[in-house]
Amino acid sequence: MPTPRPAQDAPSRANPYRRLLALPGVRAFTAGSLAARLPMGMFSVSAVLMIAGTRGSYALAGAVTATGLAAAALTGPWIARLVDRHGQARVAVPATLCAASGSLALVLCVRTGAPDWTLFAAYAATATTPNTGGMCRARWAHLLGPDQDALHTAASFEQAADELCFMLGPVLAAFLCGTFFPEAGTLAGVALLVTGVLVFAAQRSTEPPVRPRATSASPLRAPGVPGLLAVCLALGAVFGSTEVATVAFADARGHTAAAGAVLALQAAGSCAAGLVHGAVRPSGPASRRHPWNVAAMTVLLTLPLLAAAAAESLPLLAGALLTAGTATAPTMITTMALVQERTPEGRLNEGMTLAVTGLLGGIACGSAAGGWAVEHMSPAAGFAVPVAASAAALLTSLTNGESPAARKQRGFAHMG
């Protein structure tokens, strides 16, 4: 089993990411996870383009993808619980094949002109897709043990990878569907997902040990975790409302096609900030840093609001979103670190998936709130929704505090 090298290693300190990737088996499971995560940014866009392009209804396409999102929110924690109980490879592979079958069934239903209800049923089956990002973080926790600096770098790397996948996924999906045929994005996503998960699951040397019967309580009952899930809900609302407001702002100025590139800039800013954040040694516990991260995010989110309200320039808005994006990764990294810290032993995948479920629910709520603001007020007013959502996340973070278990653990660390 791979063991971490000492945190005091000078060359590793100079390049902490090289240290992580030098561990046996890490590059292989990282490559697999990236291939498996890229489709997460592709499937919804591909489904919308495929359904709208063949059925001529964006309303139907949106309803189908919303159904899949709701199904994923219900199914995700259950799949993660099975992963914790039976192992990553034993659960992730069949769950992925089931999800892939749902996507292929959706393509078949669209292609053959099947009734609309079949589209909902097929897309709901994709909800069994495992949370590869959460499984990666569980592997890092297993490999790095108590090395907090290395865990911080690993968490930053994973967040940057998430941002990269969600930045490139929609662009790749739109290119494939527009260049070849409407189903191309979904088919490519299925191929990447299945290949990535198979490669990831094959790396058994880095897989965390199985705990058949988790004796600890559910993460939902752990001190501090419900508050963190509320934070995730608010952060998801930030992302969902920002996307809707940006698309509406670009469309109102006749630059709808540029909306994807503008949103990609925000993700690029977050990705770069995540990598920088991971290379810097954190000061103080995550519970103390978290409100400051969310506060910085709230302040920077006022920049797109001001840019949209004060000018008609899409490039100016793009610059504001790029700047605002630099606060996203540090906030998400610290949030996930707290989720990992406060999740009971043996339930890490479940805890991480609950956080992702909160984000997905928040994205849906934020999209609805942003759409209402854009339609009833103005596209610029839509950018007030992410500011309000981030402020709600800040208030929750300030009142959530630090769990007793975390304080006890930190106290033991100081004693050591």
In a domain, 252, yes or no: yes
- Segment 214-269, tens digit of pLDDT: 556 677 778 888 899 999 999 988 988 888 788 788 878 877 667 777 888 888 88
Of residues 416 and 185, which shows the higher confidence score? 185
Say yes or no to pLDDT of 97 above 60.
Answer: yes
* Phi, psi (degrees; rounded to nearest 5) at 131: -85, 90
In a domain, 195, yes or no: yes
In a domain, 8, yes or no: no
In a domain, 173, yes or no: yes
**Exposed, middle or buried: residue 137 (CB in 10 Å: 0-12, 13-18, 19+)?**
buried
Cβ–Cβ under 8 Å, residues 237 and 257: no
- Segment 126-143, tens digit of pLDDT: 999 998 988 998 898 888
Q: Which of 280, 366, 265 is nearest to 325 (CA)?
A: 265
Regarding whether 307 and 255 lie in a shared domain, the answer is: yes
Regarding whether 165 and 49 lie in a shared domain, the answer is: yes
Regarding whether 190 and 291 lie in a shared domain, the answer is: no
In a domain, 6, yes or no: no
Say yes or no to pLDDT of 174 above 80.
Answer: no
* Lowest-confidence segment of 116-130, 373-387, 390-404 by average pLDDT: 390-404
Position 140, amino acid: W
DSSP 204-228: GGGSPPP-SS--SPPGGGSTTHHHH
* Lowest-confidence segment of 160-164, 221-225, 399-403 by average pLDDT: 399-403
| pLDDT score for 125 | 93
Of residues 321 and 57, which shows the higher confidence score? 321
Give the Å distances, CA to CA, from 192 to 97, 252, 376: 12, 35, 40
In a domain, 125, yes or no: yes
Regarding whether 225 and 206 lie in a shared domain, the answer is: no
Regarding whether 401 and 309 lie in a shared domain, the answer is: yes
Boundary (domain end) residue, out of 178, 212, 246:
212
| pLDDT score for 405 | 46
CATH (domain of 93): 1.20.1250.20
Q: Give the count of domains, the chain.
A: 2
Q: Which residues contact 300 (CB under 8 A, 6 or more apart)?
A: 323, 324, 326, 327
Q: Which of 299, 308, 321 is nearest to 380 (CA)?
A: 308
Regarding whether 177 and 29 lie in a shared domain, the answer is: yes
Boundary (domain end) residue, out of 196, 212, 228:
212
Longest dimension (CA), the chain: 67
Of residues 29 and 363, which shows the higher confidence score? 29
Regarding whether 332 and 313 lie in a shared domain, the answer is: yes
Residue 319, domain extent? 219-416
Regarding whether 115 and 248 lie in a shared domain, the answer is: no
| For residues 166-173, average pLDDT | 79
